[in-house]
A and B are shown apart, each in its own frame.
Chain A
Amino acid sequence: VSGEIERLYRDQGARLWRALLAWSGDPEIANDAVAEAFMQLIRRGNEVRDPQPWVWRAAFRIAAGELKARSRRLDTAEMAERTAEIPETVDLIRALSSLSPKQRAAVVLHHYAGYPVSEIATIIGSSSAAVRVHLSAGRKRLRSILGEGNRDED
């Protein structure tokens, strides 16, 4: 089982980590959520019938709990400092942070991870209809913010 899970980690781990980074804005949360989700998968062994969606779902839920806990412990400046540790994407992550958590998850999972709406609903514990609403509102808002950024550069 461990060999199969390692193959899954090699195949999905990086993409999952980046999706969690985009969603949470915090590399430490991405690290911990990926590691904890795969560790739980190893512990469950053959109990999990479909490991790939399971590990995505578990990682996002772990990250949600951590994000909530850390946002109470850290002030805004500290959170912003952590985001700035990833200079390549700081503008993108800042733009994503202006979306609600579910809008952000819908946009990242659809446009970055390539998941269809029904699977996103499973991952974030929502309904397909609600995901479509989040996706639409999130896209509109993100385009507006990124568009403003581009206009400023012009």
Chain B
Amino acid sequence: MKIDLDRQLQELDRVSVPDQWERIEHGEPRVPNRSSHHATRFASAVVIVALFVGAITWAGLSIRDDGTSAAWHSFGSPSSTGWTINYPSDWHVQQLKGCGGQGNTAGAVFTNTTFTFRNPKGGAPGCGDRMVFAGFPPDGVAVALQPQADLASIVIPTPSTPFPIRMAQLANPGGIVGGPRERYLDVQVPGRQNTFLSTFVGPHATSAARAAIVRMVASLSVPGATRWSPSEVAQAEGVAVTAPSDWHVTVHDGTGLLITSYAPSRTQDCSVPGPNALGDMRYADAMIWVPFNGSTFQNVPSVSFSAADAGPMHRGLRCGRSGFSGPAEWRDYYESIQPFGGAYEPIEVVYGENALREDTGRIVSLILRSLRFGGAPASPEPLTPENP
């Protein structure tokens, strides 16, 4: 059926409009004026700078006090997934059984205390619930690695994990009140068993211990892993972006940059933003569309993205191939980001229906944060200590 949009939109004429002339004539604005916005922003900036300087000073003193600038050692488990990790030499290492019937020494847990986990090799099949944290010191931190047989990822394709791993890639479910806060990631490497990575941070852990966890996680390596890498294709268009090496960064018809977790070999007539490159999308995949604006991205400021820039999420976009669960239904999600006073188009992100809950959503967020406009050198986002 052909829908007459002109006729549909003229329905708006049925809406009665308030007469605001009196308000206009008497100058009664309700929108805050720009000068108050600027004053607020200036005050906020001063506070942020002061906090930043204070935090840096405090962090520097804490690191000196803590003494975890000790030498770092390397520890590996070549018999399982071949993982290796660096850790402070004064930390305690306890070997662990892998999950789901793996070898007795396939995994390990690293702690900044001499705490010995009860039942570290116990019979609990799940990786996340086998270590007893009762009595774990409030300033203790731990990093655990447990190879596991994960049949689900054979049945359901899951994106591989880009290395070096950043804390933002780990799920953050919280933790037990008063106990350590847990974060975790099911590390996927093509052709290898998965490795379950988890970090635990006690409520009174020092900043140096937290920073050590960030550095340890970033040092994890597994043979054959994909890596974060800057895109030369994007750089040629004046956009610096860093994406996992198995993602695809292409220029679509000269109208924009297409970044996908899958090979966009087909197009499909589907009412989606951007180039409709959803034909091959699987349900944990994602597509990022960075439209060009008829001009280049040269000499514009850098920008970083946050969740607050996201527009509303829309559900129920029906297109794509028949997949694992019949006709697919996609989520689409607009990052209504207009960092240059509206001069550039919003960046649009389309997720498969499970992608937001999975690792893909966190990877997309890191890709968006790596975007820089104006032809800046495309280098990976520096590994800044985040709060683990």
Residues of chain A at the chain B interface (Cβ within 8 Å): 2, 6, 9-10, 13-14, 17-19, 21-22, 31-36, 38-39, 42, 61-62, 64-66, 68, 71-72, 76, 86, 88-89, 92, 97-98, 100-103, 107-108, 111-112, 124-130, 133-134, 137, 139-147, 150-151
Contact = CB atoms under 8 A, between A and B. Distances in A.
Contacts of A103: 273
28 contacts: A18-B12, A18-B13, A21-B12, A21-B15, A22-B12, A33-B31, A34-B20, A36-B30, A64-B342, A65-B31, A68-B336, A71-B311, A71-B312, A76-B312, A88-B14, A88-B15, A89-B11, A92-B8, A100-B311, A100-B346, A101-B334, A101-B336, A130-B291, A130-B294, A139-B5, A143-B3, A143-B5, A146-B5
B157 to A, nearest CB: 28
A101 B8 CA distance: 19
Contacts of A13: 17, 20-21
B24 A125 contact: no
Contacts of B9: 22, 92, 107-108, 111-112
Contacts of A86: 15
A119 B219 CA distance: 54
Contacts of B334: 100-101
Contacts of B325: none
A38 B24 CA distance: 7
How many interface residues does chain B have, given as a range?
Answer: 35 or more
A14 B342 CA distance: 25
B29 interface: yes
B314 interface: yes
B295 A127 contact: yes
Give the interface centre of B8, B28, B255, B343 by most chain A CB atoms within 10 Å.
B8
A105 to B, nearest CB: 10
| Nearest 9 A/B pairs, CB to CB | A127-B294, A141-B271, A125-B342, A144-B271, A112-B9, A14-B17, A129-B294, A18-B12, A143-B3
B272 interface: yes
